[in-house]
Structure 1
Amino acid sequence: MAISLTKGQKIDLTKTNPGMTKVLIGLGWDTNKYDGGTAFDLDASVFCLNASGKASSEKDFIFYNNPANPNNSIVHTGDNKTGEGDGDDEQVKVDLASVPPEVEKVSICITIHDAQTRSQNFGQVSNAYARIVNEETNVELIRYDLGEDFSIETAIVVAELYRNNGEWKFSAVGSGYQDGLNGLVRDYGLS
């Protein structure tokens, strides 16, 4: 049975699952019915951050157009443009043992593509979640349901994987951005 977290909670990942090195991060969402005339396209992305909380280069920004970091320890499995159907809408695979040592934190985000042009925001999104699955056993370990805390935001830092005393931990962040992907890119040190 997966451990269910709420915003702000943190949990040991590798310490409580000895020997586990490969995880799958599943992200899912539904869009509410609205008459805006354009479809939603939500995108998962990952920023690999150093000790100062910044991405060292654009290669540390993993998304559908840059699906892996340089050593392939973090891989985005593909863009789902509709989000329809049950289960994860997008996934990221992480080989924790191979993540470069200078990467202290892996920030997991969801953005709405062309949100301002389409007049869309996370107030129109429901049932958003992140889950961590042991890739070798296919067992869901952690689940974080975001709830309905967002109204005008167009990007969300959903969660973080981070190193702590040689172990990996998971943090349920749930922090929204009104200026979408641009805000994330700026805050993580990319232009």
Structure 2
Amino acid sequence: MAISLAKGQKVDLTKSNPGLQKVVIGLGWDVNKYDGGHSFDLDSSVFLLNAEGRVNSDSDFVFYNNLQGGNGSVVHTGDNRTGEGGGDDEQIKVNLSAVPQSIERISFCITIHDGEAKNQNFGQVSNSYVRVLNEETNEELIRYDLGEDFSIETAIVVGELYRHNGEWKFSAVGSGFQGGLASLATNFGLQVQ
């Protein structure tokens, strides 16, 4: 049975699941009734962070235009442009045993593509969640439902995998940003054009 987390909670992942090496991070959301004349396109992205909380290079930013990072240990399975249907809207596969030692944290984010230009924000999005699955058994291990009302934010850091004493843990972050993907990327040390 999955462990359900609230914002700010942290839970052990590998210590309580011995032998766990490959996980799938599932991200999901629904768009509320919206009549702004523009379609909603939510995107998941991943930042592979060093001990200072920064990316080492552009290749440590995994998203729809760069589907792999961490020497192939983190793989984005592709962009879902509508968010329609049940289940995960986007997924990221992580091979925990292959993540380079220079990576201390793996941050999972959801952004609204062109959210500011389209006057869209996470106040118009519901049922957002992140979950961690055992890739081999498809068992849901951890789930965090973002029940908070992000009324003006266009980007959210939903959760992070991080190393602690040689084990992997998961943190339910739930931190919102204005400025979309560009502000997130800048926050994590990327130069944005």
**Separation (CA, whole Å) in 1 of partners of 2:34 and 2:64:** 26
CA RMSD of aligned residues (A): 0.6
For 1:82, the aligned partner's letter is T
Q: Are the equivalent residues in 2 in contact too, given 1:126–1:148 (CA < 8 A)?
A: no
| 8 Å Cα contact 1:154/1:176 also seen in 2 | yes
Does 1:173 find its partner at 2:152? Answer: no
Asked whether the equivalents of residues 155 and 176 of structure 2 are also in contact (C-alpha less than 8 Å), the reply is yes
Task: Percent identity, please.
Answer: 70
Distance 1:2 1:113, change over 3 A: same
- C-alpha distance in 2 between matches for 1:177 and 1:9: 20
Could you tell me which residue of structure 2 aligns to residue 21 of structure 1? 21
User: What SS class does the counterpart of residue 115 from structure 1 fall into?
Assistant: coil
Consecutive unaligned residues of structure 1, counting only runs of 5 or more, are none
Deviation at 1:149, TM superposition (A): 2.5
1:183 alignment partner in structure 2: 183
* Structure 2 SS opposite 1:118: coil
TM-score by length of 1: 0.99
**Alpha-carbon offset, residue 70 of structure 1:** 4.9
Q: For the Cα contact (< 8 Å) 1:128–1:147, is it kept in 2?
A: yes
Cross-structure match for 1:63: 63
Return the alpha-carbon distance in structure 2 between the equivalents of residues 70 and 106 of structure 1. Answer: 10
In structure 1, the partner of 2:90 is: 90
Q: Using the alignment, how far apart are the partners of 2:178 and 2:147 within structure 1? A: 17
Structure 1 letter corresponding to 2:8: G
> Aligned residue for 1:36?
36
Q: CA deviation at 1:117?
A: 1.1
**3-state SS in 1 of match to 2:156:** strand
CA distance in 1, matches of 2:22, 2:35: 41
Tell me what 1:7 maps to: 7
TM-score computed with the length of structure 2 as normaliser: 0.98
Instruction: Report the equivalent of 1:127.
Output: 127
Number of residue equivalences: 191
Is 1:78 the counterpart of 2:82? The answer is no
148-157 or 44-53: bigger deviation: 148-157
Letter in 2 for 1:63: F
Q: Contact between 1:107 and 1:157, CA under 8 Å: does it hold in 2?
A: yes
Contact 1:123/1:148 (CA < 8 Å) preserved in 2?
no
CA shift for structure 1 position 102:
0.1
User: Would the aligned equivalents of 1:54 and 1:189 in 2 still touch at CA under 8 Å?
Assistant: yes
